[in-house]
């Protein structure tokens, strides 16, 4: 008897086939994912890396059907190593807390699959059920909380949309002596061009950050940032909007075409997490061991 692939175990991506007139699943995938060559899809099919909703490998000539749910495995040939190392701060039956270094993505995206915090932790802990409960972007360092148990995942996931978790960040940026701190910055953030870059527009605010000054060092200050909401790049955009883009930020206030410089990381750190455990009711507090230098 052949044991089917378990998409959750293998960390597969999932797609529901869109409406169209393709004769086969292969034709649909090639047209839908234009950046992936037909030869690469054929190779994935041949190696059993495209599965149906039940986790069974399918053939490339399977007839297309609208809404068909498929699992596939993202692969990046010759993936470039990222020369940084994560630290595991806490492990129990339900949660894993890791200190993510700068430049390491949390989950597979773009040119990164194996060189991500998620894949590294799955290998280190031999737990294919790990799922990040929130995200910090690749350039940001610090704490990331993972669910280790699908049975209790929902209870921890609800902490974030219900705003029952206190997240504190630190950033180093230019001094802002003309502003009075602490202050609250609210704005409406939307995706811009290129798609990954956020910007502020007129309209009802959908993002909010509390900023305070923790330390002064000449022309640079260390800021404490507490995001009330969790929009993409929120802290980076808000600091730039205040007139002090975070040091070494390649995206804000202006987009720079630069390669990763491991000696010049973004000066932004997810420094602490505090919440009441939804299972035990006890207060949980985690603090990063990383630090931002001047």
Residue 11, pLDDT > 70, answer no
Contacting residues for 276 by C-beta, under 8 A, at least 6 apart: 164, 282, 283, 284
Q: Quote the pLDDT of residue 4.
A: 41
- The residue among 228 and 76 whose pLDDT is bigger is 228
277 CB burial (10 A radius; 0-12, 13-18, 19+): middle
Q: Quote the pLDDT of residue 108.
A: 80
pLDDT class of 289 with cuts at 50, 70, 90 = very high
- Domain chopping of the chain, boundaries: 7-72, 87-287
Return d(Cα 237, Cα 56) in angstroms, integer.
Answer: 44
Q: What is the pLDDT of residues 195-204, one digit of tens each?
A: 889 999 999 9
* pLDDT, mean of residues 270-292: 98
Q: Quote the pLDDT of residue 256.
A: 87
- The residue among 14 and 184 whose pLDDT is bigger is 184
Which one-letter DSSP state was computed for residue 9? H
3-class DSSP assignment, residue 35: coil
Return d(Cα 12, Cα 3) in angstroms, integer.
Answer: 16
Q: Quote the pLDDT of residue 9.
A: 42
Q: What is the pLDDT of residues 138-186, one digit of tens each?
A: 999 999 999 999 999 999 999 999 999 999 999 999 999 999 999 999 9
Contacting residues for 119 by C-beta, under 8 A, at least 6 apart: 11, 108, 113
| Superfamily name with CATH number, domain 87-287 | Pseudouridine synthase (3.30.2350.10)
Contacting residues for 178 by C-beta, under 8 A, at least 6 apart: none
* pLDDT, mean of residues 80-90: 95
Residue 194, pLDDT > 90, answer no
Q: Quote the pLDDT of residue 6.
A: 43
- ∠ CA 196-202-205 to the nearest 5 degrees? 80
pTM of the entire predicted model: 0.79
pLDDT class of 5 with cuts at 50, 70, 90 = very low
Greatest Cα pair distance, the chain, in angstroms, is: 72
* pLDDT, mean of residues 75-89: 87
pLDDT class of 1 with cuts at 50, 70, 90 = very low
Q: Quote the pLDDT of residue 240.
A: 98
How much of the chain, in percent, has pLDDT values that exceed 90? Answer: 74
Residue 7, pLDDT > 70, answer no
Return d(Cα 75, Cα 112) in angstroms, integer.
Answer: 9
Which overall architecture, per CATH, does domain 7-72 show? Roll (3.10)
Q: What is the pLDDT of residues 228-254, one digit of tens each?
A: 999 999 999 999 999 999 999 999 999
Lowest-confidence region among 30-44, 178-192, 280-294: 30-44
Q: What is the pLDDT of residues 56-72, one digit of tens each?
A: 889 999 999 999 999 88
């Amino acid at each position: 008897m052949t044991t089917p692939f378990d998409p959750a175990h293998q960390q597969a991506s999932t797609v529901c086939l869109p409406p169209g007139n393709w004769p086969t699943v292969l034709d649909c995938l090639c047209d839908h994912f234009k950046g992936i060559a037909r030869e690469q899809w054929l190779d994935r099919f041949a190696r059993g890396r495209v599965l149906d909703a039940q986790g069974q490998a399918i053939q490339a000539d399977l007839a297309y059907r609208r809404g068909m749910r498929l699992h596939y495995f993202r692969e990046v040939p010759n993936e470039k190593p990222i020369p940084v190392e994560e630290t595991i701060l806490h492990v129990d039956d339900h949660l894993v807390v890791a200190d993510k270094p700068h430049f390491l993505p949390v989950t597979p995206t773009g040119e990164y699959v194996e060189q991500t915090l998620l894949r590294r932790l799955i290998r280190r802990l031999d737990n294919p059920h790990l799922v990040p409960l929130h995200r910090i972007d690749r350039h940001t360092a610090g704490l990331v909380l993972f669910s280790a148990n699908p049975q209790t995942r929902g209870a921890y996931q609800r902490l974030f949309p219900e705003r029952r978790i206190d997240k504190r960040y630190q950033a180093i940026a230019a001094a802002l002596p003309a502003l009075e701190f602490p202050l609250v910055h609210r704005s409406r953030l939307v995706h811009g061009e290129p798609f990954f870059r956020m910007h502020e527009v007129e309209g009802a605010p959908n993002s909010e950050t509390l900023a305070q000054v923790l330390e002064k060092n000449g022309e640079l200050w260390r800021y404490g940032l507490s995001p009330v909401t969790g929009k993409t790049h929120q802290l980076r955009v808000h600091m730039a909007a205040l007139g002090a883009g975070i040091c070494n930020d390649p995206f804000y206030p202006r987009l720079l075409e630069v390669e990763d410089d491991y000696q010049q990381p973004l000066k932004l750190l997810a420094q602490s997490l505090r919440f009441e455990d939804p299972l035990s009711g006890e207060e949980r507090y985690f603090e990063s061991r990383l630090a931002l230098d001047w």
